[in-house]
A and B are shown apart, each in its own frame.
Chain A
Amino acid sequence: MSTILVAIAGYFLMMLVVRVLTRRPGAQMTLFEFVIVFLMGGVIILATVGHDRSVTNCTIAVMMVGLLHRTVAWAKTKSDTLGAIIDGTPLVLVRDGQVQDEVMHGMRLAKEDVLAASRTKGVHDFNGIQYAILERNGGISIIKREEEPGTGETES
């Protein structure tokens, strides 16, 4: 019983911490952030299983977290607000070559992060970007300035 309660608490605590860490722990994860996320998971699992390291207890904990995750995923499909709270919304970082400073600052992103994503599309400066979008999964999509109408490309 305590394993289930701690697993539920641990799941939502991790969700909160990862969410307020901004979106960088997603697709833009650096090696250090990768270590941080594993460290947090390791600490949570210690409290979840406690002294009872039996296969039964660990199986219950894994099943509980899996069930929770599936339930939350289902709830997100039913409520856009819940989806926005849990995953956030896409954010425009660059619009028509203009960097959106408020969003960049709020998401703690550097211009180099956007340029790094744009280079993979063959765009070397902000003038070549029509839209740079920080997606909900942490990836940056680049839409190049259109040479002709209808030739926009996206990339995550």
Chain B
Amino acid sequence: MPDAPEYKPVEDSVPKVDNAVAVGENLSFQRKWWRFERAVWVFFGLIILADVAGAFGRGPVAKAQQQTDSLTLHYERIERTTTPSTMTFQFAPSAIQQGHVHLFVSQSVIKQLGAQRISPQPEQSILSDGGITYTFPATSANALVEISLEPALPGVYHMETGVPGMQPIQARVVVMP
């Protein structure tokens, strides 16, 4: 017959060191962690303030405008991936020739910045070197054209636009993730 197992009564289930309960407390680590916590919340606060200002898009800092003799471009220098935005082209009277305006936009506007829709619909679209030239009927000064954008991927993209034969506008757009 095998020996019966030996049992010892449990006298105290709480581990002790130097007659004090050993809980594994590490107060010096915890003090460092509290300092880290404060730094993280300050960082979060700064991030939120920057976001309200538009540093990550969709705010005052993100909005930009460039102007030439023939064209004023309103756009967002900071976009967000898959978030819709609008790029507005405002033509000066000098851009209107024989009842039409022509607008060149680089391929980056169509592809990387994800042009979804152009309003009004162009009368003609001509593929040209590095982009597309649109032709719109125009009878009044300050004609407006809007292109709806929705970038698919984050990155930094360079774009060029303008009225063919006149000074172009070049811009850099940052697309946030």
> Which label, helix, strand, loop or mixed, suits the secondary structure of the A interface?
mixed
Contact-residue size bin, chain A (C-beta under 8 Å from the other chain): 20 to 34
Contacts of B18 in A (CB 8 A): none
Q: Are B29 and A20 in touch, CB under 8 angstroms? A: no
Contacts of B27 in A (CB 8 A): 91, 102-103
Q: Are B34 and A89 in touch, CB under 8 angstroms? A: no
Interface readout for A79-99 with B: 1 if CB under 8 Å, 0 if not?
Answer: 000001100111110000000
Q: In this complex, what residue of B is CB-closest to A91?
A: B25
Contacts of B30 in A (CB 8 A): 88-89, 91, 103, 106
Contacts of A133 in B (CB 8 A): 21, 23, 25
Whether a CB of chain A sits under 8 angstroms from the CB of B129 is no
Option from A16, A84, A103 in Cβ contact (under 8 Å) with B40: A16
Q: Which residues of B contact A (CB under 8 A)?
A: 11-14, 21, 23-27, 29-31, 33-34, 36-37, 40-41, 82
For this complex, 13 residue pairs linking A to B, each with C-beta atoms less than 8 Å apart, are A20-B37, A20-B40, A20-B41, A90-B23, A90-B25, A92-B23, A103-B30, A106-B34, A130-B21, A131-B21, A131-B23, A133-B25, A154-B13
Q: Sort A-B residue pairs by CB-CB distance and give the 8 closest, nearest first.
A: A90-B23, A89-B26, A20-B37, A150-B12, A20-B40, A106-B34, A152-B14, A150-B11
